[in-house]
């Protein structure tokens, strides 16, 4: 029985040039150092545009998941995101990555979210945070902890017990953790996402429990982070999904993703958001696609097409996020699964390269024609670089590549020990001695019943 069962698979503004007065101004908008709370340090939405410290900005973001990249490489990959010409990094926060056991949180080492955010700021990147509770992301159970279903099937992602109590505890914990790193508090976080593509799963228009769930997340976020933070939802970029997953008016900024038809997406956004509070944004432009076991790459996005999509959005003065800028790897059993039906449901492979412009190993990503995606995007972003809003006079140079060590280069490796996977001693060692049975086990019994919330059950 495989425990990698993620649910569903599944960012009208202003002229790029804001007048000659900018030309003699020093870049001041993106700071790489933390500062104390200041009335002049603000990020908000005004007149259908993002405004940072009183000046317009287009968010040019790249997605990178700290949970999929070894901590030793965080800084290198963030430098490359900046060197591609982006000014923002977007990251998911997987709940189950930090609370593998109920009530026990881990934010240290590889899971040190605050350090990742600090490094982003050190590299002059703003941060868009996507803390769930559900994230999808092709991650195990969409980021939800397996122990939520230890007692069997239960309602998830809605206002129902016991899910809502657990979810709100996580929500309060993660928001309190990152509050000191909000932009207004001296950090780089400018936007925080609530839930993820909820219109694919719930329906706030027709289901009172779904509506209460989302309202609780929004009100609690405002209570903890303050009423100045830009909270947002993201859904598939059509009116139907935006209405199912978000609320019209000013309680939250509603954004669309995919944006295959940007005009349609932006009109749908404008229909949801409060007048003057709807800057164009595509929260996910797909630089490639996921790969499931048994598949070749299923979506070949060429460097030329990707660069053209970004160019078109920038000409519309639209903010965006590249999903992914750098994909990384699915370590351990953290990879999720996806499919359109039971027979099509398959887990992700270990690599989450995603055919991104920064490849899994940190080098330039290339398309099916061997064209360089990183260079193609950097050329576009160079043309649209703004010294004032992007925080420096020019795009920084790309760092040297980290030299990897080939421990066994030119050598053969002979494996001298082996063990039977189904031997009692092997099973005991793999399970830490916790999963043993003295008799037959009922078929189709969920692994969570045994306290196995992650990995495999034999």
Which parts of the chain register pLDDT below 70? 1-39, 297-299, 405-409, 432-444, 458
State both tokens at 169.
């505890």
Catalytic annotation, pick one of 99, 138, 197, 448: 197
Structure tokens at 334: 């953290």
Pairing of strands 88-92, 126-130: parallel
Strands (E), 146-238: 189-193, 230-236
What is the full DSSP assignment across 391-422?
Answer: SSSSPPPPPPPPPPP-TTTT----------TT
Measured torsion, CA atoms of residues 380, 382, 383, 388, in degrees rounded to the nearest 10 = 130
Rg of the chain over all Cα atoms, to the nearest angstrom: 22
The DSSP code for 366 is B
* Spatial distance between the Cα atoms of 252 and 275, rounded to a whole number of angstroms: 12
C-alpha distances out from residue 250 to 45, 54, 98, 215, 228, Å: 11, 20, 32, 13, 12
Query: For the packed helices 113-122 and 71-83, what is the interaxial angle rounded to 10 degrees?
Result: 30
- Per-residue model confidence (pLDDT) at position 31: 56
Residue 50 contacts residue 56 (beta carbons within 8 Å): yes
Q: Rounded CA gap, 33 and 427, in Å?
A: 49
Check: CB of residue 322 under 8 Å from CB of residue 313.
no
Q: Which two tokens stand for residue 297?
A: 């790459």
d(CA 236, CA 182): 27
Per-residue model confidence as pLDDT tens digits over 193-241: 999 999 999 999 999 999 999 999 999 999 999 999 999 999 999 999 9
Which residue among 284, 295, 382, 398 is the active-site one?
284
Q: What is d(CA 352, CA 371) in angstroms, rounded to the nearest whole number?
A: 20
Tracing tokens 């790029």 back to the chain, one arrives at 16
Contact (Cβ atoms closer than 8 angstroms) between residue 91 and residue 136: no
438 DSSP assignment? S
CB 286, CB 325: distance < 8 Å: no
| Contact criterion met (CB below 8 Å) for 256 and 235 | yes
Q: What is the pLDDT of residue 437?
A: 58
Cα–Cα distance measured from residue 208 to residue 455, given in angstroms and rounded to the nearest whole number: 35
Strand partners, 351: 329
Closest by CA to 44, choosing from 314, 277, 246, is: 277
What pTM did the predictor assign?
0.89
Angle between helices 303-315 and 373-383 (to 10 degrees): 20
**Contact between residue 381 and residue 86 where contact means Cβ atoms under 8 Å apart:** yes
With DSSP H G I counted as helix, E B as strand and the rest as coil, what are the percentages for the chain, rounded to 5? 30, 15, 50
Q: Identify whether 398 is a catalytic site residue.
A: no
What's the residue count for the chain?
458
Q: What is the pLDDT of residue 422?
A: 83
Alpha-carbon distance values, 66 to 93, 167, 347 (Å)? 8, 22, 20
> Closest Cα partner for 49 from 82, 21, 16?
16
For residue 325 the two structure tokens come to 């800028």
Rounded Cα distance, 214 and 203, in Å: 10
Residue 454 CA to residue 447 CA, distance in Å, equals 9
Query: In sequence order, which ranges of 123-207 are alpha helices (DSSP H)?
Result: 163-178
Per the structure block, which two tokens stand in for 73? 């490489």
Quick check: bond before 162 cis, omega within 30?
yes
For residue 448, indicate whether it is catalytic: no
Residue given tokens 């001693």 in the structure block: 425
């Amino acid at each position: 029985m495989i425990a990698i069962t993620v649910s569903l698979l599944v960012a009208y503004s202003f002229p790029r040039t804001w007048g000659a007065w900018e030309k003699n101004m020093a870049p001041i908008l993106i700071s790489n150092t933390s500062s104390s709370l200041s009335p002049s340090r603000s990020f908000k939405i005004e007149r259908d545009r993002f405004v940072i410290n009183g000046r317009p900005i287009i968010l040019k973001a790249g997605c990178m998941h700290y949970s999929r990249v070894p901590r030793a490489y965080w800084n290198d990959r963030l430098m490359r995101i900046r060197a591609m010409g982006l000014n923002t990094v977007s990251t998911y926060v997987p709940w189950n990555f930090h609370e593998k056991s109920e009530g026990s949180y881990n934010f240290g080492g590889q899971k040190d979210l605050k350090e990742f955010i600090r490094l982003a700021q050190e590299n002059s990147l703003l941060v868009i945070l996507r803390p769930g509770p559900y994230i999808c992301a092709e991650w195990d159970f969409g980021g939800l902890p397996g122990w939520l279903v230890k007692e069997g099937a239960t309602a998830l992602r809605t206002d129902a017990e016991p899910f809502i109590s657990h979810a709100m505890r996580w929500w309060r914990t993660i928001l309190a953790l990152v509050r000191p790193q909000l932009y207004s508090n001296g950090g780089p976080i400018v936007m925080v996402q609530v839930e993820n593509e909820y219109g694919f799963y719930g329906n706030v228009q027709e289901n009172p429990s779904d509506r209460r769930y989302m309202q609780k997340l929004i009100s609690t976020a405002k209570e903890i982070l303050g009423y100045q933070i830009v909270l947002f939802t993201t859904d598939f970029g059509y009116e139907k999904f935006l209405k199912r997953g978000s609320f019209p008016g000013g309680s939250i900024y509603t954004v669309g993703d995919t944006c295959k038809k940007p005009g349609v997406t932006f009109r749908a956004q404008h229909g949801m958001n409060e007048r003057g509070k709807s800057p164009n944004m595509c929260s996910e432009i797909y630089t490639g696609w996921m790969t499931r076991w048994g598949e070749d790459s299923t979506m070949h996005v060429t460097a030329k097409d990707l660069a053209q999509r970004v160019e078109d959005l920038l000409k519309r003065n639209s903010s965006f996020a590249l999903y992914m800028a750098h994909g990384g790897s699915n370590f351990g059993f953290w990879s999720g699964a996806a499919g359109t039906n039971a027979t099509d449901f398959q887990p992700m492979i270990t690599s989450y390269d995603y055919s991104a412009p920064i490849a899994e190993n940190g080098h330039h990503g290339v398309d099916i024609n061997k064209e360089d995606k990183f260079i193609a995007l950097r050329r576009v972003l160079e043309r649209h670089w703004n010294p004032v809003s992007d925080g420096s006079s020019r795009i920084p140079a790309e760092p040297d590549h980290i030299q990897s060590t080939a421990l066994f280069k030119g050598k053969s490796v002979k494996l001298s020990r082996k063990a039977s996977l189904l031997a009692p001693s092997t099973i005991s060692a793999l399970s830490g001695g916790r999963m043993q049975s003295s008799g037959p086990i009922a078929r189709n019994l969920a692994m969570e019943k045994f306290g196995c919330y992650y990995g495999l059950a034999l």
